[in-house]
Amino acid sequence: MKNATRVSAILAVCMAVPAISHADATTFRVRDDGKSRVTFVSDAPLDTMIGKSSKVTGSVTADPADITKTTGSFSVPVVSLDTDNELRDEHLQGDGWLDAKRNPKIHFEITEVIPGKRGSRELKKNKDTKVQVKGKFTAHGITKPVLANGTVRWSDGSLHIKAKFTVTLEDHLISVPSIVRLKIANEIAVAVDLHAVAK
């Protein structure tokens, strides 16, 4: 009888472990408060275009004890993209390019988080942790996989996420008119700087 009781107790503890781990996951919100930013750079032979937006929104659910369980997604309104040139912004948001009317948002969804070289799954409080993030990037209504390199800094009430990745206009069926082909690069470098606060 005592052995049966011990076995039952062990099973109860083992079954409780996933629940405890799940309870440690926290949802952090990225709010449209100007603290988060997305930047993109087109470095073409005849021109370098730099654009930005601080209208980022989204959420990420993370367990500081195991970052591989992280999920989340973020969006940026196409109409918020600013290249410091009103005419260029109008073209960028128009139906020949990103087509803001039909595809109002650019979207990134996290599909996998890979620990850095040290292989630790745990976030250290108030320290940058290197990660690779696999995700699905959607622009112009086309979704493609991407791999981002970045860092995560965790505190009790917030996450600070920085990451960089590249996308191509060709992958998202965005055609560049021949007249500006030497001024717009096919490959676009994207950088995100996100401040997420616990709900």
Q: What is the CATH number of the domain that holds 163?
A: 2.40.128.110
pLDDT digits (tens, 9 = 90+) for 49-79: 999 999 999 999 999 999 999 999 999 999 9
CA distances to 51, 52, 91, 139, 153 from 85, rounded to whole Å, are 10, 12, 10, 21, 34
Structure tokens at 61: 């659910």
CA angle 145, 81, 136 (to 5 degrees): 10
Q: Is residue 6 part of a domain?
A: no
Indicate whether 163 pLDDT > 50: yes
Whole-model pTM? 0.85
pLDDT digits over 78-123, tens only?
Answer: 999 999 999 999 989 998 899 999 999 999 999 999 998 777 899 9
Rounded Cα–Cα distance for residues 193 and 191 (Å): 7
pLDDT at 1: 52
Within a domain: 81: yes
Number of domains in the chain: 1
| Rounded Cα distance, 165 and 196, in Å | 20
Q: Which structural domain, as residue segments, surrounds residue 64?
A: 25-198
Residue 156 lies in a domain: yes
* Residue 9 is assigned to a structural domain of this protein: no
Identify whether 174 is part of a domain.
yes
Q: Is residue 192 domain-resident?
A: yes
5 found inside a domain: no
123 part of a folded domain: yes
